[in-house]
Amino acid sequence: MAKQQISLYIDDSSISVMASKGREPQKWATVALDRGLIKEGVVQDQQAVAAKIKDLWRDSHILRRKVTVGISGLNCLYQMLLLPELPENLRSEAIAREAAHSLGIPLEGVYLSWQVLAVEHGQMKVYLCVVPKDKVDSIMGALKTAGLRPVAMDIKPLCLARVSSEPRAIIVDTCQESMDIIVLGEGIPEVVRSLQVAPEMSQGERIAVLRSELERSVSFYNAAHLDKPVDLTVPVLVSGDLVEQDSDKASLAGPRERPVRDMESPLIELEGFNPAKYATCIGLALKDVLVTEPGAVANSVVNFNALPEIYQVRKRPLSEVLWVPTVLVGVVLIGMGTWGIFYLKGENSDLEDRRDNINAAIVDQQLQAQDLKALDARVTAAETPAANLTSLLASLDASRDELKADLDAVYDYALDSGVFLDNVDAETEGIYVGGSAPTENEILRYYGRLLYDSGRFSTVIISNMTVVEDGVSFKMELTG
């Protein structure tokens, strides 16, 4: 069952929110912003914007605090990079260096997001997006003040491209203070233009600028793709305010009559829901839907999390989750070993005293041979507990090593399988494990690795598996 997704879009003139499950919109609302609260995507008054967000949450009766947030494309840069194939641990640094070189900008004031689109013939094709830090930081500050927790972020043009019903299209979106143009070629938003619109511009001037920028964007794309240009069969898909302006929308066809039509919504149609006004929120919702929905087709292949790493929720490593049970087991084993050592020392000391007494008795009394045999038997009998205790200590050491190896397998396979452990209890009957995972697949993979790959457990039983808000929780019993 799909979980509820909260999509929140913020630009200079308004804030929009949409709650959805899968492809079904459930709640939606928009609030206008006073002029000057946000300028070119940068929040100027975090307290005032946070208050608007709180009002939006209250009025729309949304309870969930985890959100996928979208920001405007103003002052963002997009670049296609071609790099030698590199291991994953070296890619970030190499892409950052190439971005600084190709874009010619200092990286201290921006956040980089990227996605490897293809690896062929020893080369990586990388889609890069650059966002100003002050823009992201100011929005994150407002969201924190409003009590929200962003789990993912995306840029408006990339969201619009994800909504497209065509892998090749020219996407146009207009709103009160900005306009966006995206040329989508073979599922990749290769040309992206986000323009600020002066409030004093008339509607005629706005449309003239839009038509000019549209033709310029198409010409730029075609110059770089002479083998497969954007011809007159490629449609113009319209969203935003322009959907309701039929004459202005029709003028985008140009003198050669390129097809122009409204952007189709991939969500279920509901009364009162206007998808043209929530196109960015729809694109944010599709980030999860297109990944998790069986058979879903994404006409835009670009889908990365633009939320900077410093704002992402850090998953607790196994060392933090399991340090308490590990320390307890270690303390118990150390205590048992220490007790055994002191006990054996005491026994050995007692045996030494008894041996000395026996030797003295032999010297003093000149015991006969049969008496010596009897004393030897007593010495052997006295030494038997010491041997037994030595064997016990060795057995404790072996049990400790065996338990440590079992726990290592439990922890290591959890990390490899993408499973998060909440508790591990080692008892005489076996080991009891509890945790969670995003889906059942990770749990079943973890089960298989413990039962078959490790070779340490004769029986692995999943005693409980429950779907929870953020995934699936489970309990396992390991014996043998």
Cβ-in-10-Å burial (0-12, 13-18, 19+) of 103 comes to middle
**199 neighbors 224 (Cβ within 8 angstroms):** no
Task: Please give the single-letter amino acid code of residue 104.
Answer: G
Whose CA is closest to 454, among 479, 429, 428?
479
DSSP 8-state code for residue 478: E
Cα–Cα distance, 158 to 137 (Å, whole number) = 20
CA–CA distance from 243 to each of 28, 74, 113, 162 (Å)? 19, 21, 31, 18
Residue 90 buriedness (CB in 10 A; 0-12 / 13-18 / 19+)? exposed
Phi-psi region of 26 (alpha: psi -120 to 50; beta: other; left: phi over 0): alpha
Class of the domain covering 4-311: alpha beta
- Residues 175-197: pLDDT tens digits? 988 999 999 999 999 999 999 99
429: tokens are 């009957």
DSSP structural state of residue 310: G
pTM: 0.67
Question: Are 109 and 75 a contacting pair, CB within 8 Å?
Answer: no
d(CA 116, CA 131): 18
Q: What is the DSSP string of 181-229?
A: EEEEETTEEEEEEEEE--TT--HHHHHHHHHHHHHHHHHHHHHH-TTS-
Contact 199, 177 (CB under 8 A): yes
What percent of the chain has a predicted confidence (pLDDT) above 90? 62
Q: What residues in the chain have per-residue pLDDT under 50?
A: 367
The residue extents of the domains of the chain are: 4-311, 318-479
What is the pLDDT, as a whole number, of residue 406?
87
Find, among 208, 178, 205, the residue nearest to 194 by Cα.
Answer: 178
Query: What is residue 105's predicted lDDT score, i.e. its pLDDT?
Result: 85
Residue 315: its pLDDT value, please?
58
Q: CB under 8 Å to 344, separation ≥6 — which residues?
A: 386, 389, 390, 393
